[in-house]
Amino acid sequence: MASKGSSMSFSRKSYRLTSDAEKSRVTGIVQEKLLNDYLHRIFSSPEHAPTAATSRKPLNFQNLPEHLDQLLHVDNEDEESQGQVEGRLGPSTVVLDHTGGFEGLLLVDDDLLGVIGHSNFGTIRSTTCVYKGKWVYEVLISSQGLMQIGWCTINCRFNQEEGVGDTHNSYAYDGNRVRKWNVTTTNYGKEGRLVEKDSCEWQLQGQPTVLLTLAHIFHRFAPLLRKVYLVEAVLMSFLRGVVEAGTPAQAQSMVRQILDLLWLFMEDYEVQDCLKQLMMSLLRLYRFSPIVPDLSLQIHYLRLTIAILRHEKSRKFLLSNVLFDVLRSVVFFYIKSPLRVEEAGLQELIPTTWWPHRSSREGKDSKDVKDETAEEHRRRRAYERGCQRLKKRIEVVEELQVQILKLLLNNKDDNGGEASRYIFLTKFRKFLQENASGRGNMPMLCPPEYMVCFLHRLISALRYYWDEYKASNPRASFSEEAYIPPQVFYNGKVDYFDLQRLGGLLSHLRKTLKDDLASKANILIDPLELQAATMDDLDEDEEPAPAAAQRPMQALAMGGVLPLPRPSWLSSPTLGRANRFLSTAAVSLMTPRRPLTTSEKVKVRTLSAEQRTREDIEGSHWNEGLLLGRPPEEPEQPLTENSLLEVLDGAVMMYNLSVHQQLGKMVGVSDDVNEYAVALRDTEDKLRRCPKRRKDILAELTKSQKVFSEKLDHLSRRLAWVHATVYSQEKMLDIYWLLRVCLRTVEHGDRTGSLFAFMPEFYLSVAINSYSALKNYFGPVHSMEELPGYEETLTRLAAILAKHFADTRIVGTDIRDSLMQALASYVCYPHSLRAVERIPEEQRIAMVRSLLAPYEQRPWAQTNWILVRLWRGCGFGYRYTRLPHLLKTKPEDANLPSLQKPCPSTLLQQHMADLLREGPDVAPSFLNSVLNQLNWAFSEFIGMIQEIQQAAERLERNFVDSRQLKVCATCFDLSVSLLRVLEMTITLVPEIFLDWARPTSEMLLRRLAQLLNQVLNRVTAERNLFDRVVTLRLPGLESVDHYPILVAVTGILVRLLVHGPASGTERATSVLLADPCFQLRSICYLLGQPEPPAPGTVLPAPDRKRFSLQSYTDYISVEELAQVEQMLAHLTSASAQAAAASLPTSEEDLCPICYAHPISAVFQPCGHKSCKACINQHLMNNKDCFFCKATIVSVEDWEKAASTSTTSSAA
């Protein structure tokens, strides 16, 4: 018998025997060399042809273990071994092994080439083993009978019943029966002999045919593969060499072979430990490897990761036990920023730097491209080309990261187990829960910068599989039309932990909306389970046994289905509070055997992520899986695979958790560039203006210029990296896609009526925040206006904000405030305000109606801010972006909504006017709320500045609380905005105050006049408290000044006294002059005119600077100044006439409440009296008499008594 091999010879290291004394000095480095030698011998590359080997002692199965033990002691000398062929161990001539390893009664010839068996299933081995390549040996069969000829490992044990082919680690061929054997048997080959093509298929591909000796070798070094340092130093080095030497396809093929062998010849726990250590090593190397210019290190590590994850069994083990449980696997999706520009080779990639030139002055936009000089244009183009080169290199890494996620999202590898995608979903949900609640181990929580990259890669992989499913299922939707169906939020198939719903707690929603769930979604929630869930939430104690025994069994559905007992885990005391809330939400207890009719209701409960199966997610023949409980408003055709819907839901949650905050933080690099650019321009301007004789100043300025230029060079290159990794066009499209997903999800959820309350709050938050990120974070490199469907998206978001900011289905205070603030910001910008005007008319009117609703128990400050923005640009002197006294200071953020140019909406103003005229109660309730809030805000402001002034006048050193200053400034800003709303109302609908045919007009006008006089007196008094606080210019009170509040009051007075009809002007004048707080001096103060001195007083110094509207010619037009002068002249004349015509009034005829107006009303039935203003204001909140507390039935005029009093007084 002779063996023939086709493999090439290769060099071998020489080994020597060692004594026992020498063995004690053997260290771990020997094992390292041994493992390295094993790997390169077994998986050597055919490209490196070794030299011939030297002769050495023949090996047989008896001395093979001893020989492998001797290999542990490697000599440092490299000698060529002779007489050995690669992939083979043993003598050159193969003979039968008659010394051991056989079973049964056998007669062996003297030349050890023939054998005769005299017992049942006798077995004998040969003296040679092979471990690599293609091998064939020939056998001449001299008799008939059942014979099995094949291969086995050294550890294979035979007996009288089991021969070669009958055990797991042996393989045999039976020519008599034409079958092959490896425990089980299948048809194979041709009768009597093996043809050439059959033997050629017996290669080193994981088949037991030629891997016999490998089992013994793996038995030796399997323990070594569990050691951390050996895996990292040897195995990782070897695998890196495989990846770096060949193409990706070749590397993946080789790694797959290696993993096949590991799983075949090693125990499962050994392979698992090895893979765990291997992935930990890979992650460390990827995370801490330096950023080289071509990113080759990161690319090689990612390619090796892909090669490992392409092995199905390894991928599933890593997904189940390592990637999310032991490692922070999202590190593989992160591209870290270089610590130094030189480290990443950015100077070579981007040799020319450039930065945008933005003006810091108010009202000036960024410098336009057409205004660039030729040099600036050349630098910008060179910088953009460098950025493109950097982006292309980064895209290679990003594509490899997406390939990793595509492997993890594979749902076609469900042979003999669960598909990878469903394992990923379980781990991904747990990952989201830990990061959402913060209850996970701190080292395992995902940093925001990692989450950003993970989100973008996940979106790319998700959209790939989504569109792939669409290609094979035409009825499905494209990823551009993706959204989350509303039933996912209430059927309990997806666990949202303890995240807040729009309608409040889930347990509360299940109780209050159980009838709607039954009627709209055919979902029935058992009242007993609702009660049990509530008790579990209130009391963490275990349920008493008697109560559990008395609970009746539950029915799954109506119509005769057998009842099932309540699962014990639902009442387990170990479940957390969040799980208690979800314990009876919607998941079907059993898959129905037939489709449910509209009259049937399904009782439901929730399964945790670990308990779900593929059927619970994707559904089955009559089970809709995640889409259980479809409302009638939803279409029947599927969007995509249900599992992809859950991945999409997780992506939206990821953005809400930390991605948005991280996007805002990364803008800091751009802000730094702008600050240094401004500093550099200022320094260059100073250099041009500096006299040449001042060489010392020139030297300092030149030094500063150099520092700023070097810093800008560094920051501009770093900014290029940030733009490529975080703010690129592709990343912007991902966020824009997420925004549109949220908009469609909210729109579909809104159609379900009351079930909209089940939607988690973060969907609205992501819609708001993603729009803010697109608008504020991705510019000026990429503009949101360039995105596809930009105008339509703005309009859809405007419709959502307009409808839901006052939606009664939304109860959470935080999300309601977020909606209100988002709408207030939305109307500050021209593009988004036009989008609000494009929504349907009924929605616009409903929005304005909600804005005009009374302010009690509402965020009235934000509501008032929205109304102010609709008016800004139309009011008296209200065309400014920043206050005049703040122009010299630099704004903290020029992109703030309050610093945008005025863009009033005449369309929405007209809706407001129409609604105020609509009914008799709309205008009074709205205006009384505004007046009440104005009274409160201004009173609080005055009280706070009194405290601030007292603290400033104390001799001891003290500090004013910054929070108190902030609240004080807020009250002042609210007072100004409320005055502007009153100005808008009087301008649009003056008859509300001036048409006294209305029952509430006189009362509203008197209240308005009273408040206006109070404001004027407080602000315009000489050497008053307001002046002193303004003079202090305390940090936090920058907005407190004379101009904003006085021009607002002036606008109201001008509308009442100049623009109104003659009859209305007369009434307004009489009411204003009749108020006891009115002082003509306050009106003179507006134009800087001093008050006529009283007898005995000293005139003020003539050079004293006074406030005057005439000083603000850039903000107040000539026409507006003329109107103020006309108003002053009118009030001066009317005041003189009133003083001349007034008759003394006895104290008995004055209102006993205010002592400012004559008695004009009598109460019935008690007969007590007061003026109409006092009684009308009192009746708004109370129906009891001032004096006797009797219930007031009616109020009548007291004209006769007034005339009698007048006559008596005249007499």
Helix (H, G, I), strand (E, B) or coil at 173: strand
pLDDT of residue 531: 57
Determine the residue type at 207.
Answer: Q
CA dihedral 634→636→641→647, nearest 10 degrees, is 10
Angle among Cα 949, 951, 952 to the nearest 5 degrees reads 65
Residue 896 host element (H or E): none
The answer to whether the bond into 780 is cis (omega within 30° of 0) is yes
- Residue range 102-109: average pLDDT? 74
Among the ranges given (416-420, 529-533, 570-574, 1087-1091), the one the predictor scored with the smallest mean pLDDT: 570-574
Nearest-10 crossing angle of helices 374-408, 420-437: 120
Write the pLDDT tens digit of every residue in 696-710.
Answer: 888 888 898 899 888
Question: Residue 569 has what pLDDT?
Answer: 32
Q: What tokens appear for 223 in the block?
A: 């323990």
Convert the pLDDT of each residue in 293-324 to its tens digit.
Answer: 788 888 999 999 999 999 989 999 998 888 88
Mean pLDDT of 429-446: 71
Q: Lowest mean pLDDT: which of 627-636, 1102-1111, 1188-1197?
A: 1102-1111
Q: pTM for the full model?
A: 0.75
Lowest mean pLDDT segment, chosen from 61-75, 1010-1024, 1127-1141: 61-75
**Which of 56-65, 86-95, 986-995 is predicted with the least confidence, judged by mean pLDDT?**
56-65
Cα 969 to Cα 821, 954, 1026: the distances in Å are 19, 22, 12
pLDDT of 975 reads: 92
Locate 102 and state its tokens. Answer: 């056989």
Pairing of strands 135-137, 129-130: unpaired
Residue 20 has pLDDT above 50, yes or no: no
pLDDT band (50, 70, 90) for residue 651:
very high
Say what the pLDDT of residue 1146 is.
Answer: 66
Task: Give the mean pLDDT of 1020-1034.
Answer: 78
- Single-letter amino acid, residue 15: Y
Three-state DSSP state, 573: coil
Q: HEC profile for 232-269? A: HHHHHHHHHHHHHHCCHHHHHHHHHHHHHHHHHHCCHH
Query: Is residue 97 helix, strand or coil?
Result: coil
Question: Who has greater pLDDT, 775 or 1197?
Answer: 775
Q: Share the mean pLDDT of the chain.
A: 76
pLDDT above 70 as % of the chain: 74
Alpha-helical runs (H) found in 1103-1156: 1118-1141
Predicted local confidence at residue 892, as pLDDT: 55
The predicted model gives 713-742 an average pLDDT of: 90
pLDDT at 163 over 60: yes
What is the tens place of the pLDDT at every residue in 63-96?
556 665 665 554 444 433 444 567 777 777 788 8
Give the per-residue pLDDT at 526: 59
Overall average pLDDT of the 335-339 stretch: 81
Given the DSSP bridges, would you call strands 523-524 and 602-603 parallel, antiparallel or unpaired? parallel
Q: For 174-220, write each residue's pLDDT tens digit.
A: 877 788 888 888 877 654 343 333 333 333 333 433 445 666 677 77
Q: Greater confidence, 995 or 464?
A: 464
Of 8-12, 136-140, 498-502, 797-801, give the lowest mean pLDDT range.
8-12
- Examine the pLDDT at 54 and tell me if it is beyond 70: no
Asked whether the predicted pLDDT for residue 765 surpasses 50, the reply is yes
873 pLDDT band, cuts 50/70/90, is confident
Give pLDDT tens digits for 374-408: 888 888 888 888 888 888 999 999 999 999 999 99
- Kindly tell me if the per-residue pLDDT of 560 is higher than 60: no
Cβ proximity of 520 and 752 under 8 Å: yes
Average pLDDT over residues 327-332: 82
Q: What is the mean pLDDT of residues 1103-1126?
A: 82
Checking if the pLDDT of 898 tops 70, the result is no
Q: How far apart are CA 217 and CA 206, in angstroms?
A: 15
1207: left (phi over 0), alpha (psi -120 to 50) or beta: alpha
pLDDT, position 582: 31
- Lowest-pLDDT range, 336-340, 572-576, 1066-1070? 572-576
Q: Which two tokens stand for residue 194?
A: 């093996």
Mean pLDDT of the 900-926 span: 88
pLDDT digits (tens, 9 = 90+) for 586-626: 333 233 333 444 445 555 555 666 667 777 677 766 667 78
How far apart (Å, rounded) are the C-alpha atoms in residues 877 and 1055?
13
Whether residue 1040 has pLDDT greater than 80: yes
**Is the pLDDT score of 763 beyond 90?**
yes
CA 429/CA 443 separation, integer angstroms: 18
Helix (H, G, I), strand (E, B) or coil at 1182: coil
For residue 547, CA distances in Å to 527, 529, 552, 951 come to 15, 13, 10, 65
Query: Sorting pLDDT into bands at 50, 70 and 90, what band is 1156?
Result: low
Residue 1044: which of 1026, 1060, 1032 has the closest Cα?
1026
1206 — pLDDT class (breaks 50, 70, 90)? very low
Overall average pLDDT of the 831-848 stretch: 92
Paired tokens of 168: 């797991």
Amino acid identity of residue 321, one-letter, is N
Contact of 350 with 720, CB cutoff 8 Å:
yes
1066 CB-near residues (< 8 Å, 6+ apart) = none
Given this model, what pLDDT does residue 34 score?
62
Most confident of 156-160, 501-505, 669-673: 501-505
Query: When comparing pLDDT for 617 and 1116, which is higher?
Result: 1116
277 within 8 A of 341, measured Cβ to Cβ: no
For 506-543, write each residue's pLDDT tens digit: 888 888 888 888 888 777 765 655 555 554 444 434 44
Give the pLDDT confidence score for residue 306 in this predicted structure: 93
* Predicted local distance difference test score (pLDDT) of residue 739: 95
Is residue 823's pLDDT more than 80? yes
DSSP letter at 81 equals -
Task: Say how far apart CA 636 and CA 51 lie, in whole Å.
Answer: 70
Q: What is the reported pLDDT for 258?
A: 87
Residue 779 belongs to what H/E stretch? none
Position 375 scores a pLDDT of 82
Instruction: Give the least confident one: 423-427, 504-508, 779-783.
Output: 779-783
**Ranges 536-540, 738-742, 864-868, 990-994: which has the least confidence:** 536-540
Q: How far apart are CA 353 and CA 1068, in angstroms?
A: 65
734 or 114: whose pLDDT is higher? 734
Q: For residue 396, with 0-12 CB atoms within 10 Å meaning exposed, 13-18 middle and 19 or more buried, which class applies?
A: middle
Predicted pLDDT of residue 889: 64
Radius of gyration of the chain (CA): 43
DSSP string, 1083-1121: HHHHTTPPPPPPTTPPPPPTT-----GGG-TTTS-HHHH
Of the ranges 527-531, 735-739, 967-971, which is most confident? 735-739
What mean pLDDT comes out for the span 641-647? 91
